[in-house]
Amino acid sequence: MRVLVAMSGGVDSSVAAALMLEQGHEVVGATMKLWGGPSDSGCCSVADVEDARRVCQQLGVDHHVFNFTSEFERQVVAPYVAAHGEARTPNPCIACNAHLKFDRFLQRAAQLGFDAIATGHHARVACTAGYWELRRGRDDAKDQSYVLYMLGQAELGRLCLPIGELTKTEVRQLAGVHGLRTATKPDSQDVCFISRVGGRESFISERIPVRQGRLVARDGEQLGTVDALELVTVGQRRGLGLVTRSRPERRYVLDVDLLSRTATVGTLDDLLVDRVEVDQLSWCAGPVAAGTVVQAQFSAHGSPVTAQWDGDDRAGAVALARPVRRVAPGQAVVLYRQGQDGDVVLGGGTAA
């Protein structure tokens, strides 16, 4: 099988390429150049591209660079900025997976005559009863199935995830066995287009107006101000300046209203909800029926919560068995199968 491996320059994709070679496939590596602006983190630096090229050289396979910067700007960066202007909290990595890694990259692979693509994601793909299933990776601490929920049958059927059965420790051990230069390279943790120097505030304020907002209690009492209301997110506690000696109780953002320029804050109990509205749904193997009991997860490494799905194939809500902190609008809500097969992703969407 001819396999195009998405090479980020990290240890996971390096080992993915090595494993595909070991399995006897014809392998070519390709790195996506996504962000054309300044960056000191993520997977888009010149050093990362060079690491990917050198790993391919070590493995004896060809390496290509695909320039997807215009698509990345249009499909990831612009929506990220626009979401902040609407008091939403976007997840750019999910947008990148949906539009670049498992759309544009897949298209390019097909155009070049490849049978499948492979990535270094910690997740698994399996065929059960004639359907492709997306499953959690074996390493719970590194599982990335949450950010892959948008993959349907067409994508899963052409996707190899060779490190999904491995722990991170095992991945690094294999990289060492193969003598790969990325064996001890630290994992990337940050959004690739947000630099550590200016941070999110600088990036957003250069692209849209950000203005001061008021912090108010649920009864309307004004408690303080924030410099940039567009950067405040539901559930936020730090950076509000509200905890003082006379007011020691922690306060959390409950809601952000850009029209009135206010963020409502309250206690942790005020933040708890037992129902989360979801839209922009995507299903791995078809929608689940209303009333189905599922496991709902609200962050990449959050604890899943038993819930009942109440909706159709496009929008709905999860009624939770126990209260959770309010999910910021724009964040992903991912549904997993209930029971012994709780590592199977059913689909997911965006918190409304």
Alpha helices (runs of H) in the chain, residue ranges in sequence order: 11-22, 46-59, 69-72, 78-84, 92-96, 105-111, 153-156, 168-177, 199-205, 268-271
Residues 6+ apart with CB under 8 A from 264: 216, 217, 218, 253, 254, 255, 256, 257
Q: Which of 96, 127, 160, 284 is catalytic?
A: 96
| Coil, helix or strand at residue 84 | helix
Q: Angle at CA 329, nearest 5°, toward 324 and 333? A: 60
Among residues 88, 213, 105, which one has the least CA distance to residue 159?
105
Q: Which of 44, 56, 160, 192 is catalytic?
A: 192
> For 176-195, b where at least 16 C-beta lie within 10 A, e where not — what string?
eebebbbbebeebeebbbbb
Task: Answer positive or negative: Cα dihedral of 70, 76, 79, 81.
Answer: negative
Q: For residue 153, what are the CA distances in angstroms to 21, 112, 118, 164, 173?
A: 25, 21, 16, 18, 32
Written as six digits, the tokens of 184 are: 């001890």
CB 321, CB 306: distance < 8 Å: yes
d(CA 78, CA 204): 10
Instruction: Tell me, yes or no, if 192 is annotated catalytic.
Output: yes
CB 115, CB 1: distance < 8 Å: yes
Written as six digits, the tokens of 198 are: 């200016």
Instruction: Tell me, yes or no, if 44 is annotated catalytic.
Output: no
d(CA 93, CA 174): 26
Q: Which residues are catalytic?
A: 96, 192
